[in-house]
Structures are given as structure tokens and as C-alpha cells.
Structure 1
């Protein structure tokens, strides 16, 4: 199964945000290259909010280009077999934390947003940090920091706040 096929399957199984979900499915139907950064009309991206439920906190990255506190995530790559694989790869690369595991149940949310390169049709997961996780700043970050749930709204935009809320509801 191709990454494109996996994305269609994941989105068909996703039961929330019906209108936005359909926008993603329509995009993939009309853009065979819609998984890749080269698709100028926009592309599917994968992200994961790294959480530590035992300490009621999330790990956010201060994105080097966007200069915003965000969850880990980015473009799909040819080596990604599934959207979940892409989200987990991005979370591991950008957090420096080995042993992350995605929260069961598939994506937590969808979020469509304009970036300097194109529209990102982001499929958002949540990743559980293992006990004793040690983060490490990647080249894509200016900073990496744990925030208590209640502090996220003070540093991040509404899309991250909604992702935290949806993740906490899933927990």
C-alpha cells in the first residue's frame, strides 16, 4: 500500500471534523502528488504532540522558521510507509526522544493552515513520552520545552491549544 493509499484509508476511518476531512480526501483525489512537499496546491503533513500524562505536560518546539511554539511535525518522506510512521518519525527527530509511542486510535485532529511553502493539510497524532524521557533540540528548533497543559494557551496558537484539548480528551 502506498503512503497516498494509507492517507486515504486513515482519513476515511477518521470520524470527526467531517467537512475538513472531506477537504483532505478531495485534495488527495485531485492531486496524486498531494502527499509531497512538491505539490504547490498544498500537501498532507503529519505531526504529533509529545505528551507526558504522568506529569500533565506537553513538549513543544519553538520552530526555527515560523518562530512559533508548535507540536513536532512536518512533511512526509518517501521512506514513510504510513501517516502514523511519518508523525512518529517527525516527533522522534524533532524531540530527540527515543521510545515514543503513538496514542492508540489514529489521528487526534486535523488542522489546515497556510505556511510559507504551501497549504499544510496536517494530520495530527499524539505521542506518549516514555518515563525518564530526555529531549534534545534539533536543527529545526530554536528551543524545546515542556509546558504544563494549562500554560499552552499562553505560548501557542489556537491550533495547538485545540490539539492539546483533543489529546487530553482522548486520554
Structure 2
């Protein structure tokens, strides 16, 4: 199965955010290349919130280009076979935690469509959450200016509403 086919199946099985979910499916139907960065009409991205529920904290990255505290995530790559794998790969790459990250079961936690600077128009982000292993040690990647753990109650003070909603949805699922 292709990454495109996996994305369609994941989105068809996602039961929340009906209108937005349908917009993602419509986009993919209209753009067979809608999984890839080269699709300037917009493209699917995969992200993951790294969470440590035992200590009540999340790991956020200060994105180098956007200069915003965000969850780990980014573009799908040709070697990705499914969205879950793409989200987990991004979490590992951007957090530096190479062992022990595990996806929270149940598929995507949220969807978030947001505009991005030209030449593209928007990201259709499929958002997952991953549990950090006990004692996880992060390491800054080349894509980040900083990488830091934040207590749940600190997130609203440093990140935008998208990250806050992702944290809320993740906590509701735990």
C-alpha cells in the first residue's frame, strides 16, 4: 500500500473534526501528489506531540524557520510507508530520542490545517502523540533553535492554540 493510500484510509477512519477531515480527503482526491512538499496547493504533513504523562510535561521544539514552539513534525518522505511511521520518524529526528518513543494507540489525535509561507499554500497536518520513555534525554536537531520540556500548564504561555488543542486532545485520550 502506498503512503497516499494509507493517508486516505487513516482519514476515512478518523471520527472527529468531520468538516476538516473531509477537506483533507477532498484535497487528496484533487491532488494525487498531495502527500509531497512539491504540491504547492498544499500537502499532508505528519507530526507528533512527545508527552511524558508521569511527569506532566511535553517536549516542544523551537522551530528554526517559524521561531515558534511546536510539536515535532514535518513533511512526508519517500521512504515513509504510513502516516504513523512518518510522525514517529519526525518525533525521533527532531527530539533526538532514538529509542523508546511509542505512539499512543487509536490513530491521529487531531487534524490541523494551517497556512504556510509561499510557494506553498498550507499544511494539512495529521497529528499524533507519542509517549516518551522514562528518563528520555532529548537532543537538539538542525531544524531547531531549542528543545525543551514544558509542564502542561506552561504550554499555553509559549505555544499557539494548535499546540494547546493537541495537548488537550492527547490528555483526553490518555
TM-score normalised by the chain length of structure 2: 0.97
Question: Which structure 2 residues correspond to residues 1-171 of structure 1 after superposition, within 5 A?
Answer: 1-98=1-98, 99-116=100-117, 117-171=120-174
**Deviation at residue 69 of structure 1 after TM alignment:** 0.2
TM-score normalised by the chain length of structure 1: 0.99
Q: Distance in 1 between matches of 2:162 and 2:135?
A: 28
Which ranges of structure 2 fall in alignment gaps of 5 or more residues?
none
Q: Distance in 2 between matches of 1:60 and 1:14?
A: 25
Coordinate RMSD, CA, aligned = 0.5
Which string of whole-angstrom CA distances, capped at 9 and with x for unpartnered residues, describes residues 44-96 of structure 1? 00000000010000000000000000000000000000000000000000000
Which string of whole-angstrom CA distances, capped at 9 and with x for unpartnered residues, describes residues 7-62 of structure 1? 00000000000000000000000100000000000000000000001000000000
Number of equivalenced pairs = 171
Which string of whole-angstrom CA distances, capped at 9 and with x for unpartnered residues, describes residues 113-160 of structure 1? 011243000000001000110000000000000000011000000000
Which ranges of structure 1 fall in alignment gaps of 5 or more residues?
none
**Deviation at residue 168 of structure 1 after TM alignment:** 0.3
Q: Distance in 2 between matches of 1:155 and 1:140?
A: 18
Q: Distance in 1 between matches of 2:97 and 2:54?
A: 16
Q: Distance in 2 between matches of 1:115 and 1:164?
A: 22
Q: Distance in 1 between matches of 2:121 and 2:105?
A: 30
- 2:50 alignment partner, SS class: strand
Runs of 4+ in 1 over 6 A off after TM superposition: none
- 2:9 alignment partner, SS class: helix
